[in-house]
Amino acid sequence: MLNASLIITTYNWESALELVLKTALQQVIPPQEILIADDGSTEQTRLLIEKMKKNSSVPIYHLWQEDKGFRAGKIRNKAIAQATSPYIIMIDGDMLLHPLFIKDHLHFARKGFFTQGSRVLLSQKATQKALSQQQSSFHFFSSGLINRKNTLHSLFLASLSQHPQKNKVSGIRTCNFAAWKEDLFKVNGFNEDFEGWGREDSELAIRLLNSGVKRQNLKFAGIAYHLWHKENDRSRLECNTKMLEEAIQNKAKWCKNGIQKL
């Protein structure tokens, strides 16, 4: 039976990570393992993970790298390389998972496709309440939901909405993203030349598409709730956008500075 490795990217937000891990451990079908891709957090994050490990029936692995600015692609590559499942689901450490999140992703996993999941945005007030009260369960009528329709769960509607996407990277976000490990290795994972926030996920998607891996969008299933936070530093966005444009123009299928350093 297919199972998945769940990769959670985090950086110095212990209260959010703790709640995210709780939702991951409350899944109807739990992941085979959880790999926490830590982009340089302090000792407090390590202590939290050690505490969560003690009460977890799912193996939890903490992968850490030195804090040298936003280098999510590099630490995600390390987690992808270590993952033991053939299917990989990636989320950010501020995404609270619906109890059927893993089950839904596995249900719609198809060879030759990667999956872009959807998310429900929480307001600042709803986020503060969720963290202070350890609230991880939401529904259509919950207060503080910005895009409320994304809370609707229906495998029937999700099946009807499934269709291959054209070669577009609009809306690509690896805060809720799944792919086969062999496909990620085929394109050499994330391009570690991307430092600072922005475009590294779209560039990965471009190389997957150019390699013949199709995109599908998951609607009405695989639901995750995105905690509000201030915008990331975008000082590298222009540079990263140029690298994305080069990948598009060159019809790139591979990056040199990825999982495998040749």
Q: What is the pLDDT of residues 48-98, one digit of tens each?
A: 999 999 989 999 999 999 999 999 999 999 999 999 999 999 999 999 999
Q: Is the pTM of this model over 0.85?
A: yes
Range scoring the smallest mean pLDDT among 20-29, 103-112, 235-244: 235-244
The helix, strand and coil proportions of the chain, stated in percent and rounded to the nearest 5, come to 35, 20, 45
83, 38, 201, 216 alpha-carbon torsion, rounded to 10°:
50
* Distance between CA atoms of residues 200 and 236, nearest Å: 11
Percentage of residues in the chain with pLDDT exceeding 90? Answer: 88
Cβ(181)–Cβ(87) below 8 Å: yes
Region label for 98, one of left (φ > 0), alpha (ψ between -120 and 50) or beta (otherwise): beta
pLDDT at 41 over 70: yes
Report helix, strand or coil for 212.
coil
Q: What is the pLDDT of residues 92-102, one digit of tens each?
A: 999 999 999 99
β-pair type (95-97, 33-38) = unpaired
Cβ(32)–Cβ(61) below 8 Å: no
pLDDT at 7 over 80: yes
In order of their start, the domains of the chain are 4-249 (3.90.550.10)
Q: What is the pLDDT of residues 8-29, one digit of tens each?
A: 999 999 999 999 999 999 999 9
